[in-house]
Amino acid sequence: MLSNRAALVALTTIAPVAWGTTYLTTTTFLPPGHPLLIATVRALPAGLILLLAARRLPSGSWWWRSWVLGALNFTAFFGYLFVAADRLPGGVAAVVGGIQPLLVAVLGWRILSERLPVVTVLAGAAGVVGVGLIVAPGGAALDPVGVAAALGGAVSMAVGTVLTKRWGSGQPPLAMTAWQLLAGGLLLAVLTAFVEPLPDALPTATEVGAYAYLTLIGTALAYVLWFRGVRSLPTRLPAFVGLLSPVVAVLLGLIVAGETLSTLQALGLVAVLASVTAAVAQPRPKTPRVPPVGLEPTLKRF
């Protein structure tokens, strides 16, 4: 039988697996040129559905915390991804975004007083290299604005992950996710209205099905499990598990789109899997044993 920690890691892994299907779903079934609209349709309805399920509104400081976390985890993250995708080859953007586990590990060490073993740093470096090999950008020109946007996306998600961990204690993951998605989705809707043109035609039945999948599975379910893992596990574990997203995207390309896997991509897959395994397999620090009250060892008198 799986331990509670292993079960939590397994459930958290569902999130990046779902996110790994997003690229294929978006490029195959949805019209191009509307990334912010897609992000809004993913976040806002998902937040409403989860709020109806949770039946709980924020209280106290969670009114402003929801906006902060929603802006970091959804509005800023998706917005930066839009700019990076527009100005960089996907491979370069993915490599820059691959530093997120290292950022989360360092922020968790500084803000949450979590351990930062050498194995975590080495695993993070291996993850960046592995993602780079998987996407194989191959000599692409580096646009400074695009690189800055990709880095901004990694930083916003890393800070949002750590703050979710710090503030989320005692809050139900379902409600906490709903509040963030609603806040982030509303901000995305405003950003979309000012930045991006609307589609010329109404969505087809296929497009509605794709939107429903991204909303229900790729966002609502995925982020509930993700934030549950962030709240209950050391923050580095969900961050490293997130590296599985490009792995899933590549495997789907092989299975569904008939793409081929190069030697470098195969090495990248191995490096990413090794990075995730090394991060997850680290033993938990031993809790010092506290003797029962009244049974403390007495000092010997000389």
Tens-place pLDDT, residues 149-166: 778 888 898 899 999 999
Does a structural domain hold residue 149?
yes
Q: What is the pLDDT of residue 272?
A: 78
A 10 A CB-CB count for 206 gives 11
3-class SS string, the chain: CCCHHHHHHHHHHHHHHHHHCHHHHHHHHCCCCCHHHHHHHHHHHHHHHHHHHHCCCCCCCHHHHHHHHHHHHHHHHHHHHHHHHHHCCHHHHHHHHCCHHHHHHHHHHHHCCCCCCHHHHHHHHHHHHHHHHHHCCCCCCCCHHHHHHHHHHHHHHHHHHHHHHHHCCCCCHHHHHHHHHHHHHHHHHHHHHHHCCCCCCCCCHHHHHHHHHHHHHHHHHHHHHHHHHHHHCCCHHHHHHCCHHHHHHHHHHHHCCCCCCCHHHHHHHHHHHHHHHHHHCCCCCCCCCCCCCCCCCCCCCC
Residue 146 and residue 88 in contact, taking contact as beta carbons nearer than 8 Å: yes
Q: What is the pLDDT of residue 273?
A: 79
Residue whose tokens read 């710090």:
166
The residue ranges of the chain whose pLDDT is under 50 are 1, 287-302
Q: Alpha-carbon torsion 157, 241, 220, 162, what sign?
A: negative
For Cα atoms 149, 150, 156, give the angle at the middle one, nearest 5 degrees. Answer: 85
- Give the Cα separation of 54 and 278 in Å (integer): 35
Does a structural domain hold residue 293?
no
Does a structural domain hold residue 127?
yes
Amino acid letter for position 301: R
* Exposed/middle/buried for residue 36 (C-beta within 10 Å: 0-12, 13-18, 19+): buried
Q: What is the pLDDT of residue 211?
A: 93
Does a structural domain hold residue 49?
yes
Q: What is the pLDDT of residue 57?
A: 92
How many domains does the chain contain in total? Answer: 1
Query: For residue 101, which of 120, 118, 115, 114 has the smallest C-alpha distance?
Result: 120
Amino acid letter for position 138: G
Percent of the chain with pLDDT over 90: 29
pTM of the predicted structure, to 2 decimals:
0.82
Does a structural domain hold residue 285?
no
Does a structural domain hold residue 248?
yes
Q: What is the pLDDT of residue 51?
A: 96
Does a structural domain hold residue 289?
no
Residue 44 and residue 182 in contact, taking contact as beta carbons nearer than 8 Å: yes
Does a structural domain hold residue 31?
yes
Residue 74 and residue 223 in contact, taking contact as beta carbons nearer than 8 Å: no
Q: What is the pLDDT of residue 298?
A: 43
Residue 100's domain comprises 4-196+208-280
